[in-house]
Amino acid sequence: MGTNHAFIKTVLSIAVPVALQCMLQSSFSIIDQIMIGQLGSVSIAAVGLAGKFSSIYQVVVSAIAVVAGIMIAQYMGKGEQAQVDRSLSVNLAAAILLALGFTAACLGVPGHIMSIYTEDAAMCAVAASYLRLIAFTFLPMAGAILLSTMLRCMERASLPLYASIVAAIVNTGLNYVLIFGKLGFAPMGVDGAAIATVMAQLANFLLILGAFLMSCRKTGGSFHFSLSLGAEGYRQYIWMLLPILVTEFMWSLGENVYASIYGHMGTIACAAMTLTNPIQGLMIGALSGLSQAAGILIGKSLGKKDYDEA
C-alpha cells in the first residue's frame, strides 16, 4: 500500500502541475481573445485566424518536447547523464530550427499567409499585423517548452508552473494597458495584445531558464550541450520523432483547414468560431499535459527496466 501511495503521489506531483501549466500556456491566446472581443468582430476573427496558423508551430514544437521527454526520462532511468544532456541538446536544436523557420515565414510574408484564410482585406491586414508581432514568441516558446520538459523529468514540475502563472499575470496586465491605452499608453488594439503576448512569453522563458540553472546547481550537476548522438542515435531519433511529428502536424493542419473555411464564410462566422476556441484550448492543454506526464513516468520506468511499474 505504501508503494502505491508513493507512486500516486509521484504521478500527481508531475501530472497536475504539467496539466495546469499547459492550460496556462493556452490561456495566453484566450486572454487575448477575451479582451480583443471588446474591439469588434473584425479584430476577434483576425486574432483567431492568426492564432490558428501559429498553433501549427505550437503543436509541432510540443511534439518535439514529447520525444525529448521520452528520451530524457529513459536515460535518467538508466543513470546516463551524458545521454540526458545530448537528448535535451538535440531536441532543443530541432525546436530552435523550427522556431527560426516559422519566425522567418511570419515576418517575411504574413499577408500572404493570412490571405489563405480569408479574402476580407480588412481582416487580413489586422491578422497579418498580429502574426508579424507574435512571430517573436516562437524562439522563447521553444526554449521554455524544452526546458520545462527537462524540469519535469527532474521531478521539478512545479517550477515551470510557477513561471507560467507569473507569465499569465504579465500577459493579462499588459493586455489591459496596451490594448485599451491605460497608464499613459496610447490604445494599440490588436497590436497591443500581440506585444503583451511576446513580453509574457519572454518572461516565461527567462523564469524557466533561471529555474533550470538553479535546479542544476542544487543537484550538483551541470548541463553540457552536445549534438553527438552518432549515426545510429540519430536514426533512432528520427524514427521516433517522425510519426509523432506527422500525426500532430496533420491534426493541426485539419484545424487550420476548417478555420480557413470559416474565414471565407465571412467575418461574423469566423468571429463566432474564434470565440469557441478558449474552451477547446483549455481542454486540449489539460489532456496534453497529462499525456506528457505519462510519457515521463513510463519512460523512467522503462529506463530502469521496471516493466511492471511502467
pLDDT digits (tens, 9 = 90+) for 22-41: 777 666 666 777 788 788 88
Cβ atoms of 130 and 50 within 8 Å: the answer is: yes
Give the dihedral sign, CA 265/270/272/273: positive
* Whether residue 87 has pLDDT greater than 50: yes
150: in domain: yes
CA distance 288 to 61: 13
Closest CA to 31 of 152, 147, 161, 178: 178
What is the distance of C-alpha 101 from the center of its chain?
16
CA distance 42 to 126: 8
* Whether residue 65 has pLDDT greater than 80: yes
Give the global pTM. 0.86
74: in domain: no
* Whether residue 203 has pLDDT greater than 80: yes
CA dist 115 to 126, 158, 218, 230, Å?
A: 11, 41, 50, 43
Cβ atoms of 28 and 171 within 8 Å: the answer is: yes
Place of cell 509574457: 200
Grid cell listed for 157: 514540475
Whole-angstrom Cα Rg for the chain: 20
pLDDT-derived band of residue 3, with 50, 70 and 90 as boundaries? low
7: in domain: yes
- What is the DSSP annotation of 273-285? HHHTHHHHHHHHH
186: in domain: yes
Helices (H), the chain: 2-36, 41-78, 81-108, 110-115, 121-134, 138-153, 158-180, 189-218, 230-265, 267-275, 277-303
CA distance 155 to 164: 17
* Whether residue 124 has pLDDT greater than 50: yes
CA distance 165 to 167: 5
For the segment 48-71, the average pLDDT, to the nearest whole number, is: 89
Amino acid letter for position 306: D
User: Please, what is the average pLDDT of the chain?
Assistant: 86
Grid cell listed for 112: 500572404
CA distance 38 to 175: 12
304: in domain: no
249: in domain: yes
Q: Which of 76-80, 146-150, 153-157, 273-277 is the least confident region?
A: 273-277
Counting the structural domains of the chain, the total is: 1
188: in domain: yes
302: in domain: no
Q: Which residue has the higher pLDDT, 107 or 152?
A: 107
CA dist 246 to 91, 101, 146, 254, 293, Å?
A: 16, 17, 19, 12, 21
Expressed as residue numbers, the domain containing 46 is 2-62+79-293
Which residues are within 8 A (CB) of 210 and not within 5 positions of it... i.e. 6 or more apart? none
Q: Which of 5-9, 101-105, 210-214 is the least confident region?
A: 5-9
